């Protein structure tokens, strides 16, 4: 093997790793919507969690990516630690699918149908389809499908280049001696762990081992400990992702490490004892790509079958090692999820829905508490406003970071709508505090509303309560029919506000109400009317068609002037909330 072979090997390795990364990222984006549904249906059942981890990893071709997602979900409270353990175990089995795909390169037969299974036969076709999808189709999902095919073609080309480059090593005595050295189980284990930790992918390190096996100089006695070590080395990604995370996220990473250490240690011990007690002559035979795929799969299945029943013990061990020193706050939005934008966006929507409920509850409390407020209600309203401010901060920062990722047009639109909606919900909570302060102003000055003003306020507050109900339903359920009812009701509220202002001026002129009460009343009406305006904005975002460019005013104009149901809804609400 000369310098040119070494350069060819280096180039093949780079193509292989790049192709794997490209394919993995495209798979994550393409499968994002499906992953959202799969992960949202997780239960505490062992088998369900295991199969979920296995399936997700088989889809995105990376146990490291799945484990990092699990750490993020556990850190954000979406998944319990026990659920995370089951998914991590499933990920270890799901990752073996890559070694089976790479093993196709070892097919050696003159049978036509078997030759078609060789990567050299079908990879050019996949590359052609992929480049057509990527260059000539504009839909993001189809372009991602093209990148998946191109990534797979690239990694298989890299695999072929590596195999060709190392073929000359079969005649190099030093190379033969190296793998004889790795038949020492401890050295083989360390070698596999270090290589995998360096490239942060057990699938890639198994692929490299399969490429080296093409030389015929990698005995099973060396390949088996290396494969065991690869399972340990892949833990580095989860451990790095847990830095700075909460206690449960660190426990999930600890369980991942412990699970692989225990599995590798136990089976390595069995392997050493078997070598010492039994005449295992087959260990000296040269490993093949298919043989390595079989060893990789059997090893991971054995680890899971032994340790899956011990998930509870692993959880207790992690809690013993990583103790709860003090109460810690759950991170609603975890930056680890940014690597899978559809999942991160789903988390944003979940948190935004919590914010919506909080803002609506605060305003309803203020409406019901006006003008005679209780201390408990006052504290609840102010706490709700503080909570909504925090929601706005974390959602705003997170959505800005998410927007910097490669998003589909639909996801980008959804992120923009969420960002605008949370601003409106935050203003609704501000108006709740303003209404509370209006009530406090009346109490401090010993003032009160006239009986007529109280009756009028009751009518307006009922209309506000209904518009809040419709807005919350529209936002949390993406209910367009509820959203369509918000605008006609908001128009009625605008008219009510004008009527109530005019009536109060007349009462002041007749001496039935003081100017001081008039100021408070005017501020109160303004807060209520603006709250309904924010409801109108939120409903407008729900009604906007996809890829509309967030043309809110055009959407609301269309609702008022082109929707045939608008006029009838307006009349119905006008009659329902008519003043005496």
Nearest to 497 by CA among 525, 517, 519, 455: 525
61-89 core/surface letters (b: 16 or more CB in 10 A; e: else): bbbbbbbbbbbbbbbbebbbbbbbbbbbb
CB contact burial 124-149 (16+ within 10 A = b; e otherwise): eebbeebeebbeeeeebeebbbbbbb
pLDDT in tens, 281-301: 788 888 888 899 999 999 999
- pLDDT greater than 60 at residue 36: no
pLDDT one-digit tens code per residue, 518-536:
888 888 999 999 999 999 9
Tokens of 337: 């999820």
Rounded to whole angstroms, the Cα distance separating 51 from 307 reads 15
Q: What is Dmax (Cα atoms) for the chain? A: 111
Q: What is the DSSP letter of 286?
A: B
What's the pLDDT band for 553 if we cut at 50, 70, 90?
A: low
Digit-coded pLDDT (tens) for 68-83: 778 777 776 767 888 8
Exposed, middle or buried: residue 180 (CB in 10 Å: 0-12, 13-18, 19+)? middle
Return the pLDDT at 95.
85
In this structure, are residues 12 and 48 in contact, taking their beta carbons and an 8 Å threshold?
no
Per-residue confidence (pLDDT) for residue 329, from 0 to 100: 47
At 52 the pLDDT is: 82
* 3-state DSSP percent of the chain in helix, strand and coil, to 5: 85, 0, 15
Residue the block writes with tokens 């003159």? 110
Query: Residue 2's pLDDT is what?
Result: 65
pLDDT value at residue 375? 64
Query: Assign residue 446 a region: left if phi > 0, alpha if psi is -120 to 50, beta otherwise?
Result: left
pLDDT level of residue 407 (50, 70, 90 thresholds): confident
Query: Is the pLDDT confidence value at 107 over 90?
Result: no
φ, ψ (nearest 5 deg) of residue 526:
-65, -45
pLDDT of residue 312: 86
Q: Is 374 helix (H, G, I), strand (E, B) or coil?
A: coil
Question: Which residues on adjacent β-strands are paired with residue 175?
Answer: none
| pLDDT confidence bin for 444, thresholds 50/70/90 | confident
Residues paired with residue 219 on neighbouring β-strands, in sequence order: 286
Q: What is the pLDDT of residue 527?
A: 93
Determine the pLDDT at residue 110.
64
pLDDT band at 382; cut points 50, 70, 90: very high
**Residues 226-259 pLDDT 10s:** 999 988 988 887 787 777 667 877 888 888 899 9
What mean pLDDT is reported for the chain?
Answer: 82
pLDDT at 409: 75
**pLDDT computed for residue 323 by the predictor:** 79
Nearest CA-CA partner of 344 in 40, 55, 24, 32:
32
Task: Note the pLDDT of residue 326.
Answer: 47
Please tell me the predicted confidence (pLDDT) of residue 123: 82
Please state, in angstroms and rounded to a whole number, the distance separating the CA atoms of residues 15 and 11.
6
Percentage of the residues of the chain whose pLDDT score is greater than 70: 85
Could you tell me the pLDDT band of residue 217, with boundaries at 50, 70 and 90?
A: confident
Taking only the tens place, the pLDDT of each residue in 468-485 is 999 999 999 989 899 999
Q: How many other C-beta atoms are found inside a 10 Å radius of the C-beta of residue 365?
A: 21
Q: What is the C-alpha separation between 182 and 209, in angstroms, rounded?
A: 12
Helical spans, DSSP H, in 167-246: 173-181, 185-199, 202-213, 220-233, 235-241
> Residue 575 corresponds to which tokens in the numbers above?
């009659």
pLDDT at 15 over 80: yes
Residue 194: CB atoms within 10 A of its CB come to 14
User: Token pair for residue 528?
Assistant: 């209520």
User: How many other C-beta atoms can be found within 10 angstroms of the C-beta atom of residue 475?
Assistant: 28
Give the confidence band of 344 by pLDDT, cuts at 50, 70, 90: confident
Q: How remote is the C-alpha of 363 from its chain's centroid?
A: 31
Q: Note the pLDDT tens digit of each residue in 160-202.
A: 787 777 766 666 667 667 766 778 889 989 988 888 888 777 7
Its sign, for the CA torsion 128, 131, 135, 141, is positive
Average pLDDT, integer, range 361-374: 82
pLDDT at 32 over 80: no
Q: What integer pLDDT is reported at residue 551 of this predicted model?
A: 64
Token pair recorded at residue 475: 């936002």
Helix (H, G, I), strand (E, B) or coil at 399: helix
Distance CA 540, CA 555 (A): 6
Whether the per-residue pLDDT at 543 is higher than 70: the answer is yes
The reported pLDDT for the residue numbered 328 is 47
């Amino acid at each position: 093997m000369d310098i040119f072979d070494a350069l060819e090997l280096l180039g093949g390795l780079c193509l292989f790793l790049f192709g794997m990364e490209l394919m993995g990222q495209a798979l994550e984006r393409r499968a994002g919507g499906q992953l959202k549904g799969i992960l949202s249906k997780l239960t505490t059942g062992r088998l369900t969690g295991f199969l979920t981890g296995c399936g997700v990893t088989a889809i995105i071709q990376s146990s490291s990516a799945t484990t990092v997602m699990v750490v993020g979900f556990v850190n954000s409270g979406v998944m319990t630690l026990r659920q995370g353990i089951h998914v991590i175990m499933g990920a270890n089995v799901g990752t073996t699918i890559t070694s089976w795909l790479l093993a196709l390169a070892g097919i050696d037969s003159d049978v036509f149908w078997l030759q078609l299974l060789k990567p050299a036969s079908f990879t050019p076709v996949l590359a052609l389809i992929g480049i057509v999808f990527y260059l000539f189709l504009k839909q993001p999902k189809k372009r991602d499908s093209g990148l998946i095919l191109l990534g797979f073609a690239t990694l298989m080309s890299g695999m072929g280049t590596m195999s060709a480059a190392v073929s000359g090593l079969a005649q190099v005595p030093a190379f033969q001696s190296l793998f004889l050295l790795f038949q020492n189980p401890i050295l083989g284990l360390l070698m596999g762990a270090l290589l995998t930790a360096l490239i942060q992918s057990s699938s890639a390190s198994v692929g490299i081992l399969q490429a080296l096996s093409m030389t015929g100089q990698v005995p099973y006695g060396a390949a088996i400990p290396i494969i065991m070590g690869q399972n340990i080395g892949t833990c580095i990604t989860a451990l790095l992702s847990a830095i700075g995370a909460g206690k449960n996220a660190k426990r999930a990473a600890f369980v991942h490490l412990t699970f692989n250490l225990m599995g590798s240690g136990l089976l390595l011990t069995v392997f050493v004892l078997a070598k010492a007690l039994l005449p295992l002559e087959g260990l000296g035979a040269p490993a093949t790509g298919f043989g390595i795929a079989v060893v990789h799969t059997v090893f991971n299945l054995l680890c899971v079958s032994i340790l899956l029943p011990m998930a509870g013990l692993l959880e207790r061990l992690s809690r013993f090692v990583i103790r709860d020193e003090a109460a810690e706050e759950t991170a609603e939005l975890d930056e680890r999820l940014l690597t899978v934008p559809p999942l991160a966006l789903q988390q944003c929507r979940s948190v935004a829905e919590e914010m919506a409920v909080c803002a609506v509850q605060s305003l309803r409390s203020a409406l019901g508490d006006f003008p005679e407020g209780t201390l408990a209600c006052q504290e609840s309203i102010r706490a709700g406003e503080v909570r909504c401010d925090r929601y706005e901060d974390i959602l705003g920062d997170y959505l800005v970071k998410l927007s910097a990722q490669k998003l589909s047009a639909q996801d980008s639109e959804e992120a923009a709508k969420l960002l605008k909606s949370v601003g409106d919900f935050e203003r609704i909570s501000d108006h709740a505090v303003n209404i509370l302060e209006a009530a406090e102003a009346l109490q401090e000055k010993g003032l009160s509303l006239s009986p007529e003003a109280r009756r009028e306020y009751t009518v307006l507050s009922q209309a506000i309560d209904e518009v809040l109900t419709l807005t919350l339903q529209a936002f949390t359920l993406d209910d367009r029919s509820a959203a369509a009812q918000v605008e006609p009701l908001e128009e009625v509220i605008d008219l009510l506000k004008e009527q109530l202002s005019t009536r109060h001026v007349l009462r002041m002129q007749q001496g039935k109400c003081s100017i001081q009460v008039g100021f408070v009343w005017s501020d109160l009406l303004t807060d209520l009317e603006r709250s309904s305006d924010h409801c109108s904005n939120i409903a407008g975002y729900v009604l906007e068609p996809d890829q509309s460019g967030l043309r809110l005013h055009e959407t609301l104009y269309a609702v008022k002037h082109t929707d045939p149901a608008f006029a009838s809804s307006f009349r119905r609400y006008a009659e329902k909330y008519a003043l005496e």
